[in-house]
Amino acid sequence: MSSPYSLIRFLFFIMLIGVLVGGSFFYQNNKAEQKEVESERILPKEEVKKHNSFFVDPSVVELIVSQAPNCLSDEVEPKLIKGGIANHHLLASELVSGFFCRVASRETKRVIVLAPNHFGLGGGWVIGGANNWSIGEQELFSDKEGMEKLSSSGVAIADDGIFTKEHGIGNLMPAVKHFFPEAKVVTLVIKEKIPTDRQEKLISALKEFSDDQTMIIASLDFSHDLSLEEANAKDEQTLPILSGLDYGKISELNQSSEASNVDSPATLNIFLRVMADLGATDFELLGRGNSALISGQLEARQTTSYFTAVYSLKK
């Protein structure tokens, strides 16, 4: 029969093993969580000298350009077009090229791109980037003066770190560079729950920026995570809002996570408000599509739909 001391030593040994195993598990789990947090950390400005576009594959860039040849040699009253909506889901690359071909201009000196803050990163409601963009061997220059004006007036904060992940901006930068060869870019991402007063400040600033040499682009995809039939029904609700600049009805759309009409109602509202206030009410639908139709997967349960359009001053 074992002595009481032997039993105590045995129990102590079991407890020690438990502590060591549990501690090791906690350390590994905590280390993994810390690594995940670090991967989401916004890079300090000094670490980010230049952005890389997500859309740098030469074959994809060539595809976009080849789909829209000679656009710059045939400009059609570019000063009348004040802005437009382009998709950032590059499965629909033909829609991207068609949009940019329609608005292409050597006369444009500033392009402002508005996009959803898809991941909610950064410490401001509106966040802009001041760094230039690397696009293969080319460079797209940021409008640093414009960004400084937005920052100093409290409209936006500059935080280049978040743009390392923001596809709503990065996916369109090569097209901006190619179709607006003389332009600098202002990139702004907008958090979805932006308060009304902050929206008003941004709208006022965008109207002030707008002139004959400025193009405002809303980078938006539309219905998400629905079947083709369901997405088409949502798009039929959305199209009259786009064509009529009926921004007051955006809030009436069903924006549940399972049935969204647009990936950023706030961005759409701000853009349509600016177009309406500028008098750019002449709506031209350029393209419409759905990922199911493009991919041929008609039975897909989760699709994304697209609209591309321009808004012009009345002739």
Domain that holds residue 249: 46-312
Identify whether residues 191 and 224 lie together within a single domain: yes
Based on the fold, state whether residues 226 and 142 are members of the same structural domain: yes
Question: Apex CA 219: angle with CA 160 and CA 271, to 5°?
Answer: 100
Supply the CATH number for residue 140's domain: 3.40.830.10
**Do both 19 and 109 map to the same domain?**
no
Instruction: Round to whole Å and give the CA distance between 305 and 27.
Output: 44
- The pLDDT assigned to 35 comes to 35
Pairing state between β 303-312 and 81-86 = antiparallel
Are residues 1 and 71 both part of a single domain?
A: no
> In this predicted structure, what is the pLDDT of residue 272?
98
Q: Poorest-confidence range of 17-31, 115-129, 212-226?
A: 17-31
Do 6 and 147 have their domain in common? Answer: no
Same structural domain, 279 and 197: yes
Q: What is the mean pLDDT of the chain?
A: 84
Report the pLDDT value the prediction gives residue 136, as an integer from 0 to 100.
79
pLDDT band at 145 (very low <50, low <70, confident <90, very high): very high
Give 54-65 pLDDT, tens digit per residue.
655 666 667 777
For the stretch 212-233, pLDDT in tens is 999 999 999 999 999 999 999 9
Across the range 160-188, mean pLDDT stands at 93
Q: What pLDDT, on the 0 to 100 scale, is given for residue 20?
A: 46
Mean pLDDT of 190-211: 97
Note the pLDDT of residue 122: 94
Please indicate, yes or no, whether residues 27 and 166 belong to a single structural domain of this protein: no
State the total domains in the chain.
2
CA distance 172 to 140: 11
Q: How far is CA 269 from the centre of its chain?
A: 15
Q: Are residues 8 and 101 in the same domain?
A: no
Q: What is the band of 206 on the pLDDT scale with cuts at 50, 70, 90? A: very high
The residue that leads in pLDDT, 65 or 96, is 96
Whether 60 and 33 share a structural domain: no
Region 185-194: mean pLDDT is 97
Whole-number pLDDT of residue 55: 59
Split at pLDDT 50, 70, 90, the class of 257 is: low
Most trustworthy range by pLDDT among 16-30, 34-48, 252-266, 301-315? 301-315
Predicted local distance difference test score (pLDDT) of residue 6: 57
Nearest to 292 by CA among 281, 304, 310, 279: 304
Same-domain status, 2 and 104: no
Residue 224 and residue 298 in one domain? yes
Whether residues 54 and 13 share a domain: the answer is: no
